[in-house]
Amino acid sequence: MSPAQILILDLHHDPCVGGNCGHLRGLIEKAFLTGTVRVTATAQIPDSASAEPDLVVLRSPAALPLAQIVNSLRDRWKSASAVAVLCHWSQTAGELLDSLLHGLDDFFCCPIRDIELIPRVRRLLPSENPSSAAHTRLRLDTLVGESDCFLAVVAKVPLVAKSDATVLIGGETGTGKELFARAVHYNGARRSNPFIPLNCGALPDHLFENELFGHARGAYTDASWAEPGLLAEAEGGSLFLDEVDTMTHSAQAKLLRFLQDREYKPLGASKSLTANVRVIAETNTDLRERVKARLFREDLFHRLNILALEVPPLHKRKADILILANYFLNRYGTQYGRSKLTFSRAVLSKLMSYGWPGNVRELESVVHRAVVLASVDILQPNNIELPVAIQAEETETSSLQIAKTRVIEEFERSYLSNLLGQNNGNVSQAARAAGKDRRALQRMIRKHGIEPPAFR
């Protein structure tokens, strides 16, 4: 297949343009296998006879009408499945939102951070390109986000992938821990071998050993033939233990024995077998607390926790909410033939003001549902159904302090969003309306990651 075509269009006419273009080009070319992408750079919009790119990396100064440029590029190459534009500029948040509504797929701001650029370039390339197909098995390009706390975890993935030690991934439910597990596997030496998941919480104790180790013929009444377990299936690859904290003490002992000796014995077998398998485990609880409560073996915890990744919850990644929402909108819009769908400003405000107790999984479900059910192309607040009942149930089962904190944060976000909306994003005017000191209000706005220009 022909290589993916990437065009770097640099309209920022200043002395440092050449260096930036060269840096961008070098980064992109190094990120892909030789021959899978072709990168060209220019300082002016090509004529209609030029080759059709799959991706345009646009560098535009604030003085130029970005929305008009984006529309011009899309009109110029009508047959392209998508001319994805990655914008490098210094505009206000309100102008950025306007550009997204006019068809901009993504943007990043100076200074360019390599760890942000490469996954986003990969993600924006069409799926039929060989460079993209090589990454459809969930690698770094599916780890979507720009928050510092999130990127710090992403930066560890290549380092963890180089090792063969066990990995323990922690984080709340719905934060994307399995995506990180797959990224570790597919960025390591075991990438061409199986990645086998096992949900420990879904198996009763008497089935765990059979599922993991397999059984010999005649091991029990219905065992008419030998059957390998997941360890055998994962040979040479990785075994992903989902909800490892739910394992019984008996299952923990059997897993510990395997991690110590790399040997196991199928049910009913007389001989032990060996397995060359990397173990990656995940938990949504604090295993140290479970060790203190004697619910989890301390020796097993230390065996699993050689390398650790902690995925932050979405409420600590406020800058990623709209990025993720647009990512899911593009994905499901394409899947259902509704690629013209966009979010209204009111929807963006609604998404930002919600607490997302279900994290990224909840956000994905909300956007997926909106794409399926909405009859309009510009989604409005009534198209975004937030699961209030689930949030209430979760709050009731949390500790009093956690529940109180979340309720206060949710109220503050909602109040500030409504206040800024009523005052067209003018912080001084909003402070007067609320009878609050402007600097104090500004601190609250920054605390919740809210951008006042988005309400203008």
pLDDT reported for residue 140 = 63
- Residues whose CB falls within 8 Å of the CB of residue 401, separated by 6 or more in sequence, listed in order: none
- Residues whose CB falls within 8 Å of the CB of residue 198, separated by 6 or more in sequence, listed in order: 211, 212, 230, 239, 240, 241, 242
Burial of 90 (0-12, 13-18, 19+ CB in 10 A): exposed
pLDDT reported for residue 33 = 55
Region 253-269: what's the mean pLDDT? 90
Radius of gyration of the chain (CA): 25
* pLDDT above 50: residue 127: no
* pLDDT above 90: residue 365: yes
* pLDDT above 50: residue 395: no
The reply to whether the predicted model has a pTM over 0.85 is no
Among the ranges given (162-171, 321-330, 371-380, 411-420), the one the predictor scored with the smallest mean pLDDT: 411-420
* pLDDT above 60: residue 16: no
Alpha-carbon span 333 to 338, nearest angstrom: 4
3-state secondary structure the chain: CCCEEEEEEECCCCCCHHHHHHHHHHHHHHHCCCCCEEEEEECCCCCCCCCCCCEEEEECCCCCCHHHHHHHHHHHCCCCCCCEEEEEECCCHHHHHHHHHCCCCEEEECCCCHHHHHHHHHHHCCCCCHHHHCCCCCCHHHCCCCCHHHHHHHHHHHHHHHCCCCEEEECCCCCCHHHHHHHHHHCCCCCCCCEEEEEHHHCCHHHHHHHHHEECCCCCCCCCCCEECHHHHCCCCEEEEECHHHCCHHHHHHHHHHHHHCEECCECCCCCEECCCEEEEEECCCHHHHHHCCCCCHHHHHHHCCEEEECCCHHHCHHHHHHHHHHHHHHHHHHCCCCCCEECHHHHHHHHHCCCCCHHHHHHHHHHHHHHHCCCCEECHHHCCCCHHHHHHHHHHCCHHHHHHHHHHHHHHHHHHHHHHHCCCCHHHHHHHHCCCHHHHHHHHHHCCCCHHHHC
Average per-residue pLDDT for the chain? 79
Tokens of 302: 């230390």
Task: Specify the residue for token string 């309306």.
Answer: 433
Region 251-280: what's the mean pLDDT? 91
